[in-house]
């Protein structure tokens, strides 16, 4: 049991780290005159084609029901695609740093949804971990880049909400990870294509550099992390998986420093340490126990004395 828990935790951590390359590949591709929705269409088209090729040898042995596959498709077309689109739109209003922090409130949303709709108890240690992680996230914000635009903030919260719904829905679907990834990517591709057509921004990438970045975001930032997250949900709870996956911004900062030559400030370093601390607390949450009502007991003893 413990080995499965560790395996699920590792999958969630790796998923978050690989998701961190979305900004690098996505923004690089958008520099080739692609709109956000158009870039995302090509991202999910490439992902869908590649995962289908992987599935070809397994087509005859697939036993997933059409109903479950359709649910996974809807999860992609609605929850995942809306989350991705709203995140990029939010970044255009308030900057990528603040959008990232708002987006990573989705573990809190998952906890609240599970508590109010499914009656799931939330370990106290998870609250503690989230407070530490959010403090670290705030330190990662570039104040010069952030803009406190109300509409942008609402878009960011929308992105977090839809991603939380996607994680919960994926947990409850028993479809195999490979087929689920194909359905999710196909659903996202359709939604992003419709948005691109209605916004009249559809173009075909014209340079090799753009195609390389699209291939990077399609494989490194999409197929592999989605598969890892779906596998992790087979072994750990949605709350734990979502908290561990917030290591993504750590990878974003480190990737910017290594590949883009960005300066790593002291506050960013402290933010990374806090996020890592929160993730470690979550990882070893089964060994951490908060004494119940400590304050009340101490007060009672003092009053009696």
Place of tokens 């951490």: 288
pLDDT band at residue 300, thresholds of 50, 70 and 90? very low
Tokens of 125: 């240690």
Among 189, 88, 103, residue whose Cα is nearest residue 141? 103
Name 200's Cβ contacts closer than 8 Å, sequence gap at least 6.
Answer: none
User: DSSP labels for 95-116?
Assistant: -HHHHHHHHTTHHHHHHHHHHH
With tokens 């947990």, the residue in question is 171
The pLDDT value recorded for residue 9 is 86
Name the least confident of 37-41, 193-197, 273-277, 288-292: 288-292
Q: Which residue did the predictor score with more confidence, 118 or 167?
A: 167
SS3 161: helix
Compute the distance between CA of residue 157 and CA of residue 168 in angstroms, rounded to an integer: 17
pLDDT value for 280? 75
- Among 5, 3, 2, smallest CA distance to 235 is for 5
Cα separation of the two ends of the chain = 46
Q: Is 145 helix (H, G, I), strand (E, B) or coil?
A: coil
Report how far residue 130's alpha carbon sits from residue 30's, in angstroms, rounded to the nearest whole number: 32
The more confidently predicted of residues 166 and 294 is 166
- Token pair belonging to 14: 């790796």
Question: Of all helices (H) and strands (E), which one includes residue 126?
Answer: helix 124-140
Q: Count the neighbouring beta carbons within 10 Å of the beta carbon of residue 148.
A: 10
Question: Is the alpha carbon torsion for 31, 34, 38, 42 positive or negative?
Answer: negative
Higher pLDDT, 175 or 250: 175
| Angle subtended at Cα 139 by Cα 156 and Cα 131, rounded to the nearest 5 degrees | 75
Sorting pLDDT into bands at 50, 70 and 90, what band is 151? confident
What per-residue confidence (pLDDT) applies to 255? 65
The string of pLDDT tens digits covering residues 20-72 is: 777 778 878 888 889 999 999 999 999 999 999 989 988 888 888 899 999 99
Which pLDDT value is given to residue 144? 62
pLDDT above 70: residue 2: no
- Alpha carbons 203 and 206: distance in angstroms, whole number: 9
Give the per-residue pLDDT at 148: 64
Better-predicted residue by pLDDT, 227 or 249: 227
222 pLDDT band (50/70/90 cuts)?
very high
d(CA 81, CA 191): 7
Q: What is residue 142's predicted lDDT score, i.e. its pLDDT? A: 66
Residue boundaries of the structural domains of the chain: 2-304
Length of the chain: 305
Q: What is the mean pLDDT of residues 144-172?
A: 83
User: Do the Cβ atoms of 268 and 254 come closer than 8 Å?
Assistant: no
């Amino acid at each position: 049991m413990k080995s499965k828990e560790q395996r699920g935790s590792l999958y969630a951590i790796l998923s978050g780290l690989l998701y961190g390359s979305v900004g690098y590949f996505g923004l690089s591709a958008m520099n080739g005159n692609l709109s956000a929705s158009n870039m995302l269409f090509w991202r999910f088209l490439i992902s869908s084609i590649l995962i289908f090729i992987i599935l070809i040898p397994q087509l005859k042995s697939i036993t997933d029901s059409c109903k479950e596959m359709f649910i996974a498709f809807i999860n992609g077309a609605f929850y995942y695609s809306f989350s991705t689109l709203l995140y990029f739109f939010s970044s255009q209003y308030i900057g990528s740093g603040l959008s990232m922090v708002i987006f990573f409130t989705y573990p809190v949303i998952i906890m609240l949804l599970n508590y109010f709709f499914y009656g799931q108890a939330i370990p106290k240690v998870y609250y503690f971990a989230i407070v530490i992680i959010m403090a670290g996230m705030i330190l990662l914000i570039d104040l010069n880049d952030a803009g406190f635009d109300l509409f942008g903030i609402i878009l960011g919260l929308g992105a977090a909400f839809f991603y939380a719904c996607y994680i919960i829905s994926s947990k409850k679907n028993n479809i195999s990870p490979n087929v689920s990834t194909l359905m999710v990517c196909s659903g996202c591709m359709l939604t992003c294509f419709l948005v691109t057509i209605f916004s009249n921004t559809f173009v075909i990438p014209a340079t090799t550099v753009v195609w390389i970045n699209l291939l990077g975001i399609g494989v490194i930032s999409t197929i592999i992390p989605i598969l890892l997250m779906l596998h992790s949900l087979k072994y750990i709870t949605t709350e734990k998986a979502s908290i561990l996956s917030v290591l993504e911004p750590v990878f974003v900062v480190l990737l910017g420093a290594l590949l883009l030559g960005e300066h790593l400030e002291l506050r960013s370093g402290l933010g990374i340490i806090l996020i890592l601390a929160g993730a470690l607390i979550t990882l070893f949450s089964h060994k951490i126990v908060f004494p119940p009502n400590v304050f009340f007991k101490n007060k009672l003893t003092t009053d009696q004395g």
